């Protein structure tokens, strides 16, 4: 977790700048490589040999803005053309949080894309009001800033499993997070986000176009795990089947099972007769 605190950032910043000075001797190059934002505002790179790469004779650091991509390289705003056989885009991730990779439709025909038009929000990053029985892994505001996602997904899987077990045990038709619980949770998330280093002004793939952070969790991983790993039914609306529908469904399912079993038996008898004839 990285708070917006220059005092807390001072120690790792000093260590990082010391490492930069030790690996880059050219003062102009070193100045161009020095970050102009608070430590942790962009994703941290931990490497023993990254800085020294820029002093190789076959490496140039170009900081001018790109004007266009030409057929044989890159043209920058100063008019220079930099020949290139291949161009690697390493500017971060396109999270695509505003929509799912496939159509998702909730109650009353409302799509997830419509619901998330002003920003992706979910309760504990897993469930969305208006979309019953739908659970997400690594949804909005569940990304770790600088650690593994596994502890997050493991908690989400446990939460989802408990919800599904509750549905099966109590014969529920639907489980849907309450709008009030979702709004309350996300209001706390965004209130805390204002005090995080990711909101201090740098450009990063963490932020939406309106500078809102819907990707990271503003707290410790252990804090998220303790909160999210258990299914709390008080935050959900539990919808039961209408009276009698389960009995009718059970009878229909039993009838279909008997029919399928009879078809298999009939098929087996015919197969046995054909075998006898062939002998």
Identify the pLDDT of residue 89. Answer: 86
Domains of the chain, residue spans: 6-39+44-83, 107-240
Superfamily name with CATH number, domain 107-240: FAD/NAD(P)-binding domain (3.50.50.60)
Angstrom distance (rounded) from CA 32 to CA 55: 13
Identify the pLDDT of residue 43. Answer: 83
Give the count of alpha carbons within 13 A of 12, CB side only: 14
pTM of the model: 0.75
Identify the pLDDT of residue 119. Answer: 87
Identify the pLDDT of residue 145. Answer: 74
Backbone phi, psi, residue 56, to 5°: -70, 150
pLDDT (tens digit, 9 = 90+) per residue, 180-200? 999 999 999 999 999 998 888
Q: How far apart are the first and last CA of the chain?
A: 76
Distances (CA, A) of 243 to 107, 132, 143, 246, 249: 22, 20, 42, 7, 11
Residues 24 and 51: beta-carbon distance below 8 Å: yes
pLDDT (tens digit, 9 = 90+) per residue, 266-275? 776 655 555 5
Give the count of alpha carbons within 13 A of 228, CB side only: 30
Identify the pLDDT of residue 159. Answer: 96
Identify the pLDDT of residue 67. Answer: 95
Identify the pLDDT of residue 70. Answer: 93
Identify the pLDDT of residue 27. Answer: 94
Low-confidence ranges of the chain (pLDDT < 50): none
């Amino acid at each position: 977790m990285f708070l917006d605190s220059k005092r807390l950032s001072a120690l790792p910043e000093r260590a990082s700048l010391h490492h930069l000075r030790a690996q880059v001797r050219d003062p102009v190059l070193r100045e161009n490589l020095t970050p102009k934002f608070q430590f942790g505002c962009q994703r941290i790179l931990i490497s023993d040999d990254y800085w020294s790469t820029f002093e190789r004779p076959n490496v140039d650091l170009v900081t001018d803005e790109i004007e266009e991509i030409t057929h044989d390289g890159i043209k920058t705003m100063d008019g220079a053309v930099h020949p290139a056989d291949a161009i690697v885009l390493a500017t971060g991730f396109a999270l695509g949080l505003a929509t799912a990779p496939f159509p998702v439709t909730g109650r009353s025909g409302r799509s997830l894309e419509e619901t998330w038009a002003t920003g992706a929000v979910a309760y504990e990053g897993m469930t969305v009001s208006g979309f019953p029985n739908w659970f997400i892994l690594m949804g909005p505001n569940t990304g770790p800033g600088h650690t593994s996602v596994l502890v997050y997904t493991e908690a989400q899987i446990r939460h989802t499993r408990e919800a599904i077990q509750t549905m099966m045990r109590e014969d529920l038709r639907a489980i849907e997070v309450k709008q009030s619980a979702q709004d309350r949770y996300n209001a706390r998330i965004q209130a805390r986000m204002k005090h995080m280093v990711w909101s201090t002004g740098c450009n990063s793939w963490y932020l939406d176009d309106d500078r809102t952070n819907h990707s990271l969790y503003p707290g410790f991983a252990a804090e998220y795990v303790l909160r999210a790993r258990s299914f709390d039914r008080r935050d959900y609306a539990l919808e039961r089947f209408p009276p009698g529908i389960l009995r009718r469904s059970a009878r229909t399912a039993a009838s279909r099972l008997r029919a399928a079993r009879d078809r298999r038996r009939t098929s087996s008898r015919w197969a046995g007769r054909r075998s006898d004839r062939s002998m």
